């Protein structure tokens, strides 16, 4: 006997993306104003539906790329939300992903076309459906992941200052960090390259730029190193 599953229920499977960015001061998320019912005019995560021939990862990439034009974005699957009435139109399950993008480099035109807007995570409006719950979980996951894997760099330009990196971690972890302890720890990891180049925007003195050396990091991981902030 071959089980063909024909008596089982089928459902709509959505993908919603929490898109994080960082603007030198605070952690932001990208939201769009819904232009269709239900909840037209309210703020929402970007989302779409899984197509039959796609994996969830591919769908998340497609949906994100459609809005931002971005390729090669750090994404991670977060959780699958399944409250029965979460979408009033029809039974829909949604798998949430979060993405980290470098605000400075993203495609502003596309974002404007979709009336998307960056919000400080502390000042985000109420979102539709269960998107607030998704955001909440995404922030927690980001906090854990960023203190355990060197993913923070995804939110910064390729070249960044120590101060930017510190501010980023302060924004993610929502706590102040000691400047000297932070720098000492980062340096102890030995995964940054200090450039002979300064960023002159932030101060008269200027501050040295650094780059993350992924190769060096990967090699260290093979030897048992773990990143831990």
Partner DNA sequence: ACAAAAGTGTTATTTCTACACCCATGC
Partner DNA sequence: GCATGGGTGTAGAAATAACACTTTTGT
Interface positions with DNA (CB under 7 A): 161-163, 178-181, 183-185, 198, 200, 202-208, 228
User: How far apart (Å, rounded) are the C-alpha atoms in residues 29 and 124?
Assistant: 8
User: How far apart (Å, rounded) are the C-alpha atoms in residues 54 and 159?
Assistant: 35
**Complex with DNA: residue 65 or 147, whichever CB lies closer:** 147
**CB of residue 93 vs a second copy: minimum separation in angstroms?**
6
**Complex with a second copy: residue 117 or 137, whichever CB lies closer:** 137
Identify whether the C-beta of residue 93 lies closer than 8 Å to the C-beta of residue 146.
no
Residue 176 binds which entry of DNA, a second copy, none, CB below 5-8 Å type-dependent: none
175 binds a second copy (CB under 8 A): no
50 binds a second copy (CB under 8 A): yes
Identified binder of a second copy from the candidate list 26, 68, 92, 164, rule CB under 8 A: 92
**CB of residue 13 vs a second copy: minimum separation in angstroms?**
5
**Complex with DNA: residue 10 or 224, whichever CB lies closer:** 224
How many CB atoms are located within 10 Å of the residue 67 CB? 21
Instruction: Fill in the DSSP letter of residue 101.
Output: -
Which residue stretch of 78-86, 105-113, 158-166, 200-208 sits at the interface with a second copy (rule: CB under 8 A)? 78-86
Instruction: Fill in the DSSP letter of residue 127.
Output: B
Report in angstroms the alpha-carbon separations of 117 from 16, 21, 33, 112, 138. Answer: 16, 11, 8, 8, 18
Identify whether the C-beta of residue 14 lies closer than 8 Å to the C-beta of residue 48.
yes
Residue with tokens 């932030």: 202
**CB of residue 155 vs DNA: minimum separation in angstroms?**
17
Which residues 6+ apart lie within 8 Å of 152 measured at CB? Answer: 146, 165, 168, 169, 172
**Complex with DNA: residue 79 or 189, whichever CB lies closer:** 189
The contact set with a second copy (CB under 8 A) reads 1-5, 8-13, 36-38, 49-57, 77, 79-80, 82-84, 89-93, 95
């Amino acid at each position: 006997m071959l089980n063909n599953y024909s008596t089982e229920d089928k459902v709509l499977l959505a993908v919603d993306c929490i898109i994080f960015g960082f603007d030198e001061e605070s952690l932001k998320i990208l939201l769009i104003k819904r232009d269709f019912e239900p909840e037209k005019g309210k703020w929402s995560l970007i989302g779409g539906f899984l197509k039959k021939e796609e994996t969830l990862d591919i769908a998340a990439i497609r949906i994100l790329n459609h809005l931002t034009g971005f390729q090669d974005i750090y994404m991670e699957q977060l959780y699958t939300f399944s409250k029965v009435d979460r979408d009033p139109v029809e039974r829909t399950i949604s798998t949430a992903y979060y993405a980290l993008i470098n605000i400075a480099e993203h495609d502003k035109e596309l974002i404007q076309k979709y009336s998307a807007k960056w919000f400080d995570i502390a000042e985000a409006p109420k979102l539709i459906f269960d998107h607030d719950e998704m955001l909440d979980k995404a922030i927690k996951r980001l906090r854990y992941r960023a203190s355990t894997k060197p993913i923070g760099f995804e939110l910064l330009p390729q070249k960044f200052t120590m101060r930017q990196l510190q501010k980023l971690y302060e924004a993610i972890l929502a706590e102040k960090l000691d400047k000297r302890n932070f720098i000492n720890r980062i340096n102890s990891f030995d995964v940054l390259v200090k450039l002979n180049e300064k960023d002159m925007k932030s101060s008269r003195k200027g501050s040295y730029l650094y780059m993350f050396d992924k190769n060096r990091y990967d090699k260290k991981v093979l030897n048992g190193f773990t990143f831990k902030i």
